[in-house]
């Protein structure tokens, strides 16, 4: 089978690594890819926002299946356009991508189908939004309705911060994404990422993971796309898992089907484990980055038949198998991230780092030039490891990090701390 993967991050390198291992694949391409993906796939310089160019490429190379990594092309309807051209693609339709593309859409779905989530209001003007937060008080969460590259959420600890966030969104800081604002109850508890695969009709759980969103150790500093992750998380017990499936994931799948916009693809639920049980605070319609990296390390089954079954409505009798080992990934980012970063700095020691037992390195923002690997983005590398415990995976990942020579980059030193602490006290 000829497969084309779209994207260029660490998530896509992990997907490329897993897809390339499938005996069903005769050739894998990736657009645009990165220096690490080039080891697994032929990288092509396609503009993935140009759906006509993507379709032309698929026809030329007789691509039979397209796997879409990031949310932007999904929200732009690439799966619909490929389907119209007769090309099968993994991921939700434009309509179903609204689960990530519009926070208000998801909140309304939760209300309609009784899915547990925080109390909220939706606003299209600053005056009403301000009146609402003044009535509710802080802490409170202010969210731009649309896609804002992970920057559209302000967790306001004071009323002043909430008011400033509302003002910023309504003056157009996020363009059209901020024309509507969702204001949500501040949820307290442990935050986990829960992944399921849906075929529009049913869903099967993938695995749980915990991301580390803040840029610095001890969860300090601004939010980022994610500085590291591990899987499975001990906080998703069997009981929590069953509750998330029965009260959040399956009602969402049923609700989307009932509305005539069935969801096919990866449903990534951001869930807060509150005292009143798991509550949804957001959906994403794709794998998480960096959570995907640890999920791919743990997945024993071939991923390609699972993705095909999701497209074909054949998940009902599907079974995915997982390695029992834990996996952990440490993101190495360029100095300055999540702000401005310098491109073109040289990274050395990668081959040596890969020799640490259980280690796999996935690239994010890298390019290869004259035989050297250079940084080419904010998040640059994912140093991943498996281990019998999260502590062992953590120790291996940091042993590999310490072999990488890149003075222009940094990483958090405490990825997995909550699970490691839990393991120590058991
Ligand atoms: P997002 O950019 O949507 O991933 O949200 C960024 C972060 O904001 C999440 O990872 C949560 O930590 C936090 N967050 C979002 N919604 C809430 C909420 N209702 N209560 C508390 N924290 C939240
Ligand atoms: N790790 C967070 C995200 O993928 O959105």
Atom 5 of ligand 2, nearest CA residue: 288
Q: How far is the CA of 226 from the centre of ligand 2 (A)?
A: 6
Long-range CB contacts (within 8 A, 24+) of 158-163: 159/133, 159/134, 162/133, 162/138, 163/130, 163/133
Q: How far is the CA of 45 from the centre of ligand 2 (A)?
A: 25
Q: Is 9 in the pocket of ligand 2 (CB under 6 A)?
A: no
Q: Is 299 helix (H, G, I), strand (E, B) or coil?
A: strand
Residues 241 and 207: their CA atoms lie apart, in Å, by 9
Name which of 257, 255, 267 is nearest 112 in CA terms: 255
Q: Is 291 in the pocket of ligand 2 (CB under 6 A)?
A: yes
Q: How far is the CA of 270 from the centre of ligand 2 (A)?
A: 9
Which ligand lies nearest the alpha carbon of 182? 1
Name which of 231, 259, 319 is nearest 109 in CA terms: 259
In Å, how far are 200, 250, 256, 360 from 267, measured between CA atoms? 11, 11, 12, 25
Residue 290 alpha carbon, nearest atom of ligand 2: 1
Report pLDDT for 426: 79
Residue 288 alpha carbon, nearest atom of ligand 2: 4
Q: How far is the CA of 182 from the centre of ligand 1 (A)?
A: 12
Report pLDDT for 171: 86
Report pLDDT for 149: 75
Q: Is 183 in the pocket of ligand 1 (CB under 6 A)?
A: no
Pocket perturbation via mutation, ligand 2, pick of 225, 228, 271 by most ligand atoms within 8 A of CB:
225
Report pLDDT for 113: 97
Residue 103 alpha carbon, nearest atom of ligand 1: 3
Residues listed for the chain: 426
Q: How far is the CA of 213 from the centre of ligand 1 (A)?
A: 9
DSSP 145: S
Q: Is 151 in the pocket of ligand 1 (CB under 6 A)?
A: no
- The pTM score is 0.96
Report pLDDT for 172: 79
Q: Are 411 and 228 in contact (CB under 8 A)?
A: yes
Q: Are 25 and 3 in contact (CB under 8 A)?
A: yes
Q: How far is the CA of 378 from the centre of ligand 2 (A)?
A: 14
Q: What is the pLDDT along the chain (426 residues), one digit of tens a residue?
A: 999 999 999 999 999 999 999 999 999 999 999 999 999 999 999 999 999 999 999 999 999 999 999 999 999 999 999 999 999 999 999 999 999 999 999 999 999 999 999 999 999 999 999 999 999 999 999 999 988 876 789 999 999 999 999 999 998 777 777 789 999 999 999 999 999 999 999 999 999 999 999 999 999 998 899 999 999 999 999 999 999 999 999 999 999 999 999 999 999 999 999 999 999 999 999 999 999 999 999 999 999 999 999 999 999 989 999 999 999 999 999 999 999 999 999 999 999 999 999 999 999 999 999 999 999 999 999 999 999 999 999 999 999 999 999 999 999 999 999 999 999 987
Please give the domain boundaries of the chain with CATH numbers for all domains.
Answer: 2-94 (3.40.50.20), 125-179 (3.30.1490.20), 190-312 (3.30.470.20), 326-425 (3.90.600.10)
Residues 13 and 271: their CA atoms lie apart, in Å, by 26
Pocket perturbation via mutation, ligand 1, pick of 153, 193, 276 by most ligand atoms within 8 A of CB:
153
- Cβ-count burial of 407 within 10 angstroms (0-12 exposed, 13-18 middle, 19+ buried)? exposed
Q: Name 53's bridge partners.
A: none
Q: Are 79 and 57 in contact (CB under 8 A)?
A: no
Q: Is 153 in the pocket of ligand 1 (CB under 6 A)?
A: yes
């Amino acid at each position: 089978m000829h497969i084309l993967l779209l994207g260029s991050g660490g998530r896509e390198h992990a997907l490329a690594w897993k897809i390339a291992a499938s005996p069903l694949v005769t050739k894998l391409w990736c657009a645009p890819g990165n220096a690490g993906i080039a080891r697994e796939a032929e990288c092509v310089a396609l503009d993935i926002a140009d759906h006509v160019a993507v379709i032309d490429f698929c026809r030329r190379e007789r691509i039979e299946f397209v796997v879409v990594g990031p949310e932007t092309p999904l929200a732009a309807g690439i799966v619909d356009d490929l389907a119209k051209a007769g090309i099968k693609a993994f991921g939700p339709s434009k309509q179903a991508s609204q689960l990530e593309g519009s926070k208000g859409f998801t909140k309304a779905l939760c209300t309609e189908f009784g899915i547990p989530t925080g109390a909220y209001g939706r606003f299209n003007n600053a005056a009403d939004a301000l009146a609402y937060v003044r009535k509710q008080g802080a802490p409170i969460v202010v969210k731009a309705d649309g896609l804002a590259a992970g920057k559209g959420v302000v967790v306001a600890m004071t009323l002043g911060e909430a008011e400033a966030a509302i003002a910023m969104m309504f003056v157009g800081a996020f363009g059209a994404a901020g024309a509507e604002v969702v204001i949500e109850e501040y949820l307290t508890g442990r935050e986990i990422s829960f992944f399921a695969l849906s075929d529009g009709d049913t869903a099967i759980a993938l695995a749980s993971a915990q991301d580390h969103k803040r840029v610095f150790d001890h969860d300090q500093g601004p939010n980022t796309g994610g500085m590291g992750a591990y899987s499975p998380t001990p906080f998703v017990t069997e009981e929590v898992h069953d509750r998330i499936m029965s009260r959040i994931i399956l009602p969402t799948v049923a609700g989307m089907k009932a509305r005539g916009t069935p969801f096919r693809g990866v449903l990534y639920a951001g869930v807060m484990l509150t005292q009143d049980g798991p509550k949804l605070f957001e959906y994403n319609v794709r794998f998480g980055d960096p959570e995907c990296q640890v999920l791919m390390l743990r997945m024993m089954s071939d991923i390609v038949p699972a993705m095909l079954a999701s497209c074909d409505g054949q998940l009902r009798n599907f079974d995915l198998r997982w390695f029992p080992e834990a996996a952990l990934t440490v993101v190495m980012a360029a100095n300055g991230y999540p702000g401005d970063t310098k491109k073109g700095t040289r990274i050395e020691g990668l081959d040596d780092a890969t020799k640490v037992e259980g280690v796999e390195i996935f690239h994010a923002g890298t390019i290869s030039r004259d035989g050297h690997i250079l940084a080419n983005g904010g998040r640059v590398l994912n140093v991943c490891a498996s281990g019998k415990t999260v502590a062992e995976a953590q120790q291996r990942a940091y042993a590999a990090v310490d072999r990488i020579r890149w003075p222009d980059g940094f990483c958090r030193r405490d990825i997995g701390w909550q699970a490691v602490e839990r393991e120590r006290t058991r």
